[in-house]
Amino acid sequence: MLCLTLTASTLAENKALVEKNRSWIGAAELRLDHLDEDELKVASAFPSTVDLPLILTYRRASDGGLCTKNEKDRLQTLYEAAKGGWAYVDIEEDVKKSDLKCKDPLFEGRVDLEESLRARNIRIIRSYHDFEGVPEDLFGRVNRLAGKGDIPKVAVTPQSLLDVIMLFQVEEQLAHIKEKIIIGMGQLGIPTRILYKRLGSMLSFVSDNQAAPGHLGPREMSEVYHADRIDRNTHIYGVIGNPVYHTSSPKIHNRGFEAIRYNAVYVPFLVDSVRSFFKLAELLKIRGFSVTIPHKQAVVPYLGKTSREVKQIGSCNTVVRIQGMWKGINTDYYGFLTPIQDRIASGSIKSALVVGSGGASRAIVYALINHGVKVTILNRTVERARKLGDETMSGYDSLENAHLYQGSVDLVVQTTSVGMGELEGTNPIPSFAFTGKEIAYELIYRPEETAFLQAAKRAGCEPVFGKEMLIEQGKLQFEAFCGYHFPHWIPLDL
């Protein structure tokens, strides 16, 4: 199930959050450390207002929470709030036994918090958090947490793809622990949240406001990734890159899979090592994946078979499992051509300026020269532009000299990452003055209108948006992945 973490400051606001997200979640977690002090006094009544299993949590600052009280006071507050009808109460694994003794006016002496919960059949989640990494004794730690019959929860922060592999090995190593919660925090850990069932985890936390590092929204987890419906028979596909979470590709592929009723999910993987990803792909039995910056050339040595385009270009954006081996193809080549094919065929595009010389640029340069278009490659590092230019018998130059080509080309293609992320609002060729006669083709699709396209549109140029290529090459990938044409009736408003 998907569990919504509630971090509003009042119980009424938290109830409203549950109602807003009710159709996508199966449980909710109330975080006492986010409540106003007056609200803490009546928190025990919250379960009576919500028709979902609820987890009660009061997180210390050292575990990523907001509570700064001493342990005695924190656990006393937790004890009072826990008098309600909660399904679970979260208690950290290092809480001292002596601190669990709480005051209760109905009893003489002190009452043990854990014993009082068990007496009312409230399950205890025994939690461990590590915001720095993944402990080497991960499997043993989960075993120890489960030792008292409680539900073990480990929330750790993978620092590499090898750490992510360790998390995905938990279910294989600890299948005898039927109820457990395994979480990889941060960006590297996002696939563990989507594929939580493949870790043997009983739930995955979601939130409207990223209450913890790597949280996705409940609607996205349910409607885009169908995370709560993934089972052992679900085929896994993905996209690898660094960065990767800006991608809209999951919306294309997951909508397509759902439309044709194909039990599959397409997941983004932040990849720091291509070699490590192929190990993870074997572990998860991944059937195919898209490749984006900066791995389009790095994956090629790991492929057992490659298409004619990949052999020529030396760049691969799609990998599929065929007859026990990995095959690489390049759908960027044809996806790029589709929006401008008629202009090339009619002769209105005879010359092009290509900005950048990375993996995507290689596919585009080859696509253009193979269709008779004269190309000049501009790159910040002239040596890289020269290498690609020599391979393709194209011209090359430095980005600083972009202005020398204004008015002399029919098409300008922007293939770099300049214009997105930290570089949003930056034009990679600020010295180039559009005349209004060029077609300006941008590969970035988020933001939809970059500084490059804005400059072109001001001059009266025809723009080609990055999402057009994304959709066209994505449809070709979809067919390579599952053998079906992409359903034409699916709207793709990215």
Q: Which residues are catalytic?
A: 296
Q: Which residues are within 8 A (CB) of 299 and not within 5 positions of it... i.e. 6 or more apart?
A: 240, 274, 291, 316, 319, 328
How far is the C-alpha of 183 from the C-alpha of 156, rounded, in Å? 6
Helices 382-392 and 359-369 meet at what angle, rounded to 10? 30
Tell how far CA 65 is from the center of its chain.
24
* Coarse DSSP helix, strand, coil percentages of the chain, rounded to the nearest 5 percent: 40, 20, 40
Provide the residue type at 162 as one letter: L
Provide the residue type at 419 as one letter: G
How many other C-beta atoms lie within 10 A of the C-beta of residue 23?
10
What is the CA angle 251-255-260, rounded to 5?
Answer: 155
Burial call 306-329: b when 16+ CB within 10 Å, e when fewer: bbebbebbbbbbbbbbeeeebbbb
Are 183 and 153 in contact by the 8 Å Cβ rule? The answer is yes
How far is the C-alpha of 64 from the C-alpha of 59, rounded, in Å? 7
Token pair of 71 as six digits: 């342990």
How far is the C-alpha of 239 from the C-alpha of 438, rounded, in Å? 32
Walk across the sheet containing 88-92 and list its strands. Answer: 181-184, 151-156, 123-130, 88-92, 54-57, 27-31, 2-6, 204-206
Number of residues assigned to the chain: 494
Are 26 and 53 in contact by the 8 Å Cβ rule? The answer is yes
CA 225, 227, 232, 237: dihedral to nearest 10 degrees?
A: 20
How far is the C-alpha of 180 from the C-alpha of 107, rounded, in Å? 33
Tell how far CA 270 is from the center of its chain.
7
Q: Let me know if 91 is exposed, middle or buried by CB neighbors in 10 A (0-12, 13-18, 19+).
A: buried
Q: Where are the alpha helices (DSSP H) in 203-291?
A: 218-219, 249-259, 274-284
Are 214 and 189 in contact by the 8 Å Cβ rule? The answer is yes
